[in-house]
Amino acid sequence: MDKKSWDLDGYFKIITSNQGVFLTIYSPVGEGEKVNIDDVLIHVKERGLTDVNLDLIEQVVEESSGLPIKIGKAQEEKKTGVLIVEIMEDEMSAYLTIVPPPSGSSFKLTPEEIKDVLKKEGVSCGYDEEVLIDISIEPRKELNRAILVAKGIASVKGKDAIIDYKFDTHKDKVRFKENENGRVNYRELNLIENVQEGQVLAIKMLPTAGKSGITVTGKELPAEEGKDLPLPIGKNTYASDDGLELYASCTGRVVWSETKIDVESAYEIKGDVGYDTGNIEFAGTVIVGGNVKDGFSIKAGGDIEIRGCVEKAVLEAAGNVRIQNGVIGKGEGIVKAGRDVYAKFIENATVIAGEDVIVSEAIMHSNVDTGKRAIVYGGKKGVILGGRIRAKDEINARTIGSWAEVETSIEAGIDPHTREDISILEKEIEEDKKSFNELKLGIKNLVKQKEKSGNRLSPDKEELLAQHLRAQNLLMTKLRDTAERMITLQKEFSAETGGKICVFNVIYPGVKICIRNTTLFIKKEYKYTMFIVKANQIKLLSYEEPKMTKKKEGEK
């Protein structure tokens, strides 16, 4: 079984002083492991402690009381009192405890005397001179408490290499153009960034060396050098002779995949995707001049751009999917994008986007999941009607639902994948519990038969009992692992903040909204409203327009 966050291994400390050698053994917590006596004996040997009671060490390890037990002879007590030095396990700090001499004796310490004691115990550097002076002036003020007297110097890691990209890598910043009336035109997406042959794409700045450190015992702590980064050389790119600059080797579209830079020449189809073309699978961008017909598919390692309609087809893109008209999915159409989906309308389809779904006219009777936002705002309608829309950050539309109270589900504030994973795990746990109970009942019946027949069963039933026991153990392990996964997901679910649902015109009865784990069934019309969650309750505020990053004049 994996350790939980509260499981801690046992550990030990050995302190030497003029009073003797003291061993403290701390018990483990939860499923943590006990202290191994061999580890203690090795440490005793390394410290050069020869005059100790080995039998007593074994007893102290067995009891693990957490109390200091004397395992070696005391040294002769001096009038300067007893100075106990404790070096932390990481050797980055040392503490001094002053135990006073017998009653009536007076004593005084000098910084040099304290340093001598520290050196004998292995503390060779990092002394806090001010603290040592304070102790020497009035040592009695510092009696019977651990005082930090030495600190190590941690090593400093060098700076990592940096890649300075000479193009826009933040594709989550949608760059729309405004028309002459100041309105956003959702049909002009302007997301393709072209580069010319020989253009600089990235410049690399080399990593730097780090600065070494030292422990209080004088051990050098080597500094970690800054991590190097490879120049992200991809398709149709090349590096300079010194390996610090990356250039485009052809004119085309730059694609950033988080690990490399490609320059893609897009694959363009003048007409429809249908029987004349077959299914399309391409590493770069696919541009279709017409429609995507029923039953066909397009898979692209870059973007997909459709200048017509998408029928009952399947589109999958690592980047964006841009559909100039709309999707008529007929209940089976699927559009998946690693980033954004743009369309005029979506009807009877499933749409999954890693980031935004932006639609100008309507989403009707469709299931839409998006890792950031679902925006239905640009056209005259801007309506969400029927189906289920789930977005992590925001859902924004002109109208949601209809006067006919069409059942519509709107969910925000949680990543749809997290919601889906929790739902799947809940069903899996329920099914496994049912199977576990059936196995348990079967084992119980076989055991009863065995007891009634004088602790004997036929070979077939003995094998069946063994199979049931093995299956029960496997199912118990699976249930425990699934439950731990569920706890992790529920923590992620509970930790989420934010999420809002905005409606410009009206939201009708028949709509169910859910923000994080709070649900509200709409029973009357609301206009120009934003729904958020505060203190586990859905609150109504004034409508808030979707925020868009607009392309500035002259910006590349």
- Over the chain (556 residues), what is each successive 10-residue block's mean pLDDT? 64 81 87 88 75 88 88 58 83 87 63 89 92 81 83 94 86 51 47 74 94 94 92 94 92 80 82 85 83 91 92 94 95 96 96 95 95 85 93 94 93 81 82 87 86 82 87 86 79 72 94 91 94 91 79 36
Question: CB–CB of 302/287 below 8 Å?
Answer: no
Q: For position 550, what pLDDT does the model report? A: 41
- Say yes or no: 207 and 247 in one domain: yes
Q: For position 419, what pLDDT does the model report? A: 72
- Say yes or no: 396 and 442 in one domain: no
Is 275 contained in some domain?
no
Which position has the token pair 């995949």? Answer: 257
Tell whether the torsion through CA atoms of 139, 143, 145 and 146 is positive or negative. Answer: positive
- Say yes or no: 518 and 376 in one domain: yes
The backbone torsions φ and ψ at residue 74, rounded to the nearest 5 degrees and listed phi first, read -75, 150
Owning domain of residue 328: 306-415+499-549
Is 168 contained in some domain?
yes
- Say yes or no: 46 and 188 in one domain: no
Is 297 contained in some domain?
no
- Say yes or no: 327 and 405 in one domain: yes
Residue among 493, 526, 497, 499 at smallest CA distance from 511:
526
Residue among 53, 52, 54 at smallest CA distance from 38:
54
Last residue of a domain, which of 263, 296, 317?
Answer: 263
- Say yes or no: 361 and 426 in one domain: no
Is 47 contained in some domain?
yes
- Say yes or no: 323 and 459 in one domain: no
Which position has the token pair 């109970």? Answer: 437
Distance CA 286, CA 505 (A): 37
Is 191 contained in some domain?
yes
Last residue of a domain, which of 455, 479, 495?
Answer: 495
Domain count, the chain: 4
Last residue of a domain, which of 210, 240, 263?
Answer: 263
Q: For position 74, what pLDDT does the model report? A: 58
- What's the DSSP call for residue 142? G
pTM higher than 0.85 for the full model? no
Helix/strand/coil percentages in the chain, nearest 5: 20, 35, 40
- Say yes or no: 344 and 442 in one domain: no
Largest CA distance in the chain: 107
Distance CA 170, CA 356 (A): 13
- Say yes or no: 401 and 537 in one domain: yes
Residue among 325, 322, 319, 310 at smallest CA distance from 339:
319
Q: For position 355, what pLDDT does the model report? A: 94
Distance CA 502, CA 395 (A): 6
* DSSP SS3 for 447: helix
Residue among 114, 164, 166 at smallest CA distance from 135:
114
Is 64 contained in some domain?
yes
- Say yes or no: 126 and 187 in one domain: no
Is 288 contained in some domain?
no
- Say yes or no: 411 and 323 in one domain: yes
Enter the tokens of residue 35: 């202290």
Is 292 contained in some domain?
no
Question: CB–CB of 422/489 below 8 Å?
Answer: yes
Residue type, position 253, single letter: R
- Say yes or no: 405 and 428 in one domain: no
